[in-house]
Structure 1
Amino acid sequence: MIVNLQVKISTLHLPKKSKILFSICFLFLAVLLFISNTSHSKNTEVHVKIPLKEDPKIAPLEILARYPEKETQRVHFKLDSLLKRIHKRHDFNGAILVAKNDKIVYQSQVGTADFKKKTLLKKESTFQLASVSKQFTAAAIMLLKERNLIKLTDTVNTYFPNFPYEGVTIQNLLNHTAGLPKYFWIAEHKWHQKKAPTNTEMIALLAKSNVQRFFKSGRNFDYSNTGYFVLASIVEKVSGSSFSSFLETNIFEPLQMKNSYVYSFEKDPLKKGQLAGYRLYRGWRHLKIPSTVNDAIVGDKNVYTNTEDLYKWTLGLNTGKLLSKESLDLMYSKGKTVYGREVPYGFGFRIDTKVQNSIYHYGKWNGFSTALIKYLDDDLVVIILEHTSYTAIKALNKKIKNIVAESFGI
């Protein structure tokens, strides 16, 4: 910075010695100002958040498109009636969202959020996704793959040398063909601390538990929560950040999912609007389900969100705002065993090409029942989130689809 200071000393009627002294003082002041200014510009701290991500290429999601009210009056009436009926008769306390052709047809919620405080569910209330969380873990892996930080053919031992089950690839974990033992059982029988184990602690426990795998990797299909917690652990190891931070920076923020987060029991504080899971006791009383030794593990579960954010997720994923078409095609393709037999699972999604031609996942954990279904032929998305141990979510999904078909003209 150049500072121009002009003082007409000649106009000052001062003795010669005073003028010399004044000039020296003025020069000293100017030097101080210059040093101060340059020092400030050099030492000013600039705090820049540098996440593990490439330059943002994701355009912000526009305001979610909705069908005009006039076009959806009939389907709204029928779905409102359905929600009221299942709430009263079958203790449904949750939310649903239906979208067609990338436009929301219906969105609502019914029932109670907190039974002790007697507060009602809100649009912003966040549900534990249970196994629907797995698709976020798969997407995190694919983001790392697209950045050439991992390969699907890498084995777990590449990242965790002491992992006791050799030859298990990342793709085996994604497709549930790894044959790993159930970490639930290991935590319940081999973990001897009061505090629930984290992903890092569970990886270490696997190494010394001496529990045998079900089969050698690639030989069969066996749905595995263990595989997805290991995948989340790989994300943490490669990114150098927590799984929660990675999803926040690379998925939730870009897709403007403002009510979404990863929650680990004992580690993270409860969020505003975060729901607890309940079970019905003696047909009338709702008891909160306590956390377990398995609730600090993330990757296979523990993403929390609401219906609108979950719709932003599926919309962003399917319109190429997050991953390339090549990556999405891999996620939506059935896996195979080493013998060439197809398995009904892609990367984080179940695949149905025989009955409904749908990409979907259901979840169930500690009172939460969840569903995200995309019917490809109809370009229809159905999202159901519930938190009081509702048991008929698959049948409910079928009813919702039928109502939309009859009342909205699929």
Structure 2
Amino acid sequence: MYTKKNSKEISLVLILFACVFLLFANTSVSKNSVEVAKTAAVKVVPPFLVERYPKNVTENVRYKLDSLLKRINKRHDFHGSILVAKNEKIVYQNQIGYADFNKKILLNKQSLFQLASVSKQFTAAAIMLLNERGQIKLTDTVDAYFPNFPYEGVTIKNLLNHTAGLPKYFWVAEHKWEQKKAPTNVEMMELLESSNVQRFFKPGNNFDYSNTGYFVLASIVEKVSGTSFSSFLNTNIFEPLQMKHSYVYSFENDSIKENQLDGYRLYKGWRHLKIRSTVNDAIVGDKNVYTTAEDLFKWTQGLNTGKLLTKTSLDLMYCKGETTDGKKVPYGFGFRIDTNEEKSIYHHGRWNGFSTALTKYLKEDLVVIVLEHTSYKDMHSLNKKIRQIIAENFTI
């Protein structure tokens, strides 16, 4: 017989069953939530961080470098940014001067400098990435990718270490280009094919620093990858190294970004005039990478710690080239090589008012980055002064 007592017992059992079910359900949800949280945590941790020495460690160095910045700003019209890093950590970072002279806007950490020829190391790295992936070989000749290329026997390696002997594309553009809009890489490659301009020497015979070689290398990157040089660098270099403020800019083809600087020259000792773009400013590969000092440090740190290329590739980039008769040349792939007392791997750049330098002193494990946009002319001396201040005051 069904009684009230039985009803109470059944209700109690049901309540207990419900409690047990809810306990297990909550436990399961909790475990799933933890797993989701762990996954989310892994995703948001950035793969690359810029490290810095504490302020109290670098106070004296900061004071002396600040004083140096003020002097060169006042005496030599320096308007730019300096970053110094030792043992892969930032010791000093600051900027001085104007970003825009008409509007009296000051430079800041987000100010974007044109790297000029310091851009060449990004082109070299792009080539080495394709080489590592088996998409090209350094011994390939240019006509393997551009069958109508008029200069026979020029290898990718010749282009990288400036032993190709190619004519100057600046001259070709200024004398042979007939359109108003500046030529792109594709158009300049076609112009080289039809212009009948003689090369300087046979491939490998000599060393001759060549902007032409690096625009041809960027054109090979575009041909092999099937994408623009800008997109290739963004996907394969800038994004992996978290260089969020870096990009390739082609005059008349790309939009100007926020904080992108113009180059200036000093007129009559006091007035700053913007330098206008020319017929050569749409070409990329030899120049036209824009970035900040901190992004450029991310680049050199990522490159030197194996985040981008293998040690084998990096060794090739940092190794002096040589001519066909075995004579060493002071250039690797995208870098100048100094094996004298300073023992440095570096590159300077000058273009349309921008003066730039990235130097790694090997013995001291010291990186010096200088970016400037008012035609500063004494980059070598400035690097020497910065290095001396670090040597005298930074003993860690």
Give the match for residue 388 of structure 1.
374
Q: Which 4+ runs in 1 deviate beyond 2 A?
A: 59-63
Alpha-carbon distance in 2 for matches of 1:237, 1:184: 22
Q: Does 1:163 align with 2:146?
A: no
Shift of residue 61 of structure 1?
3.9
Give the match for residue 18 of structure 1.
none
Q: Which amino acid aligns with 1:273?
A: N
Q: Does 1:325 align with 2:311?
A: yes
Alpha-carbon distance in 2 for matches of 1:60, 1:248: 17
Q: Does 1:140 align with 2:148?
A: no
- Cα gap change, 1:60 to 1:150, in 2 (>3 Å): farther
Partner SS, residue 333 of structure 1: coil
Contact 2:221 2:229 in 1 (8 A): yes
Partner SS, residue 138 of structure 1: helix
Find the partner of 2:74 among 84, 88, 96: 88
**Structure 1 gaps, min length 5:** 1-58
Alpha-carbon distance in 1 for matches of 2:326, 2:71: 46
Find the partner of 2:50 among 64, 71, 83: 64
Partner SS, residue 387 of structure 2: helix
Q: Which amino acid aligns with 1:206?
A: L
Alpha-carbon distance in 1 for matches of 2:49, 2:185: 36
Give the match for residue 64 of structure 2.
78
TM normalised by structure 1 equals 0.85
Partner SS, residue 250 of structure 1: helix
Alpha-carbon distance in 1 for matches of 2:352, 2:246: 19
Over the matched positions of the two proteins, sequence identity in percent amounts to 76
- Cα gap change, 1:226 to 1:283, in 2 (>3 Å): same
Alpha-carbon distance in 1 for matches of 2:304, 2:211: 25
Give the match for residue 348 of structure 2.
362
Find the partner of 1:250 among 236, 239, 251: 236
Give the match for residue 314 of structure 1.
300
Give the match for residue 289 of structure 2.
303
Alpha-carbon distance in 2 for matches of 1:164, 1:62: 43
Alpha-carbon distance in 2 for matches of 1:100, 1:280: 34
Give the match for residue 176 of structure 2.
190
Deviations 1:354-407 (A, max 9, x none): 131110000000000000000011100000000000111111110000011111
Q: CA RMSD in A?
A: 0.9
The equivalences for 1:91-170 within 5 A come to 91-170=77-156
Contact 2:250 2:282 in 1 (8 A): yes
Contact 2:85 2:92 in 1 (8 A): yes
Partner SS, residue 192 of structure 1: coil
Find the partner of 2:365 among 355, 379, 396: 379
- Cα gap change, 1:151 to 1:339, in 2 (>3 Å): same
Shift of residue 117 of structure 1?
1.2
Shift of residue 254 of structure 1?
0.3
Alpha-carbon distance in 2 for matches of 1:211, 1:62: 46
Shift of residue 62 of structure 1?
3.4
Give the match for residue 178 of structure 1.
164
Shift of residue 64 of structure 1?
1.2
Give the match for residue 197 of structure 2.
211
Alpha-carbon distance in 2 for matches of 1:349, 1:406: 27
Find the partner of 2:249 among 259, 263, 266: 263
Q: Which amino acid aligns with 2:243?
A: M
Shift of residue 63 of structure 1?
2.4
Contact 1:61 1:316 in 2 (8 A): no
Contact 1:163 1:207 in 2 (8 A): yes
Alpha-carbon distance in 2 for matches of 1:61, 1:123: 22
Shift of residue 60 of structure 1?
4.7
Give the match for residue 208 of structure 2.
222
The equivalences for 1:7-22 within 5 A come to none
TM normalised by structure 2 equals 0.88
Aligned residues: 352
**Structure 2 gaps, min length 5:** 1-44
Q: Which amino acid aligns with 1:86?
A: I
Partner SS, residue 361 of structure 1: strand
Give the match for residue 320 of structure 2.
334
Shift of residue 409 of structure 1?
2.4
Q: Which amino acid aligns with 1:280?
A: L
- Cα gap change, 1:159 to 1:60, in 2 (>3 Å): farther
Alpha-carbon distance in 1 for matches of 2:212, 2:142: 12
Partner SS, residue 87 of structure 1: helix
Shift of residue 85 of structure 1?
1.1
